[in-house]
Amino acid sequence: MIPTSYPTREEIARLTAAMLIEIGAVNFNTETPYTLSSGLPSPSYIDCRKLISFPRIRATLMDFLVCTIMRNAGFEAFDNIAGGETAGIPFAALVAERMALPMTYVRKKPKGYGRNARIEGAMSEGQRVLLVEDLATDGGSKLSFVDAIRDTGAECGHTAVIFYYDIFPETEKTLGDHGVALHHLCTWWDVLAVARETNAFPAQTLDEVEAFLKDPRAWQEAHKPA
């Protein structure tokens, strides 16, 4: 069912951050930093995949995501909702259900047999496709999915995520140069603000996380494993 209530962007961001903290999707560890897929250290890590196990929060955030998409991109802007393998697939299905649109998904690479396809489901030339993912960091991983969609003859000028890091200045330029607009619910800055308001983590930990968020490259360089 398409949501008909539209909270403010600020309220959506605050509530999304609070929900992510509540279910333990937000992880801060300044003493033993996490290792990102890039191999670099980080005192923060977020696991949006946990949302699929919390139906009330899951439903609320999908309503928020549909509201954000329609408010930012238009009410009749899309013909197909595509999820990125693997984390984007359940969220794409939930968004497609709410928007009463076909759902597809995009493989990270061709499956290597049969049709050797990257697109699963029915996607046709000229369709306006929204790419749905769980989160966006520097935007680079989105480009391969977008290109696979465009290779079918479909259009893809928008991607929607639950969480956007918003700490790497090149992200929106990378996507924008590729003709893609980014829509999101909350960022690390929203999470940090709610974490401070609710004392969800020790103040010293949050201070160190804020230092990372303000200059992630410098923090990573200073905390590289010996």
147-162 per-position pLDDT tens digit: 999 999 999 999 999 9
In a domain? residue 193? yes
- Give the pLDDT confidence of 22-45 residue by residue, as tens digits: 999 999 998 889 987 767 889 999
In a domain? residue 1? no
Distance CA 69, CA 92 (A): 12
Q: Does residue 226 have a pLDDT over 80?
A: no
Please, where are the H alpha helices in 51-187?
55-73, 88-99, 140-150, 171-177
* pLDDT recorded at residue 116: 64
Is 0.85 surpassed by the pTM of this model? yes
In a domain? residue 4? no
pLDDT band at 115 (very low <50, low <70, confident <90, very high): low
In a domain? residue 66? yes
What's the N-to-C CA distance of the chain in angstroms?
53
Question: Residue 28's domain spans which residues?
Answer: 9-222
In a domain? residue 3? no
Distance CA 29, CA 80 (A): 39
In a domain? residue 2? no
In a domain? residue 145? yes
Residue 62's CATH number = 3.40.50.2020
In a domain? residue 17? yes
- Give the pLDDT confidence of 67-78 residue by residue, as tens digits: 999 999 999 999
* pLDDT recorded at residue 149: 97
Please count the structural domains in the chain.
1
pLDDT band at 138 (very low <50, low <70, confident <90, very high): confident
CB < 8 Å & 24+ apart, contacts of 201-205: 201/28, 204/30, 205/28, 205/29, 205/30, 205/43
- Give the pLDDT confidence of 76-88 residue by residue, as tens digits: 999 999 999 999 9
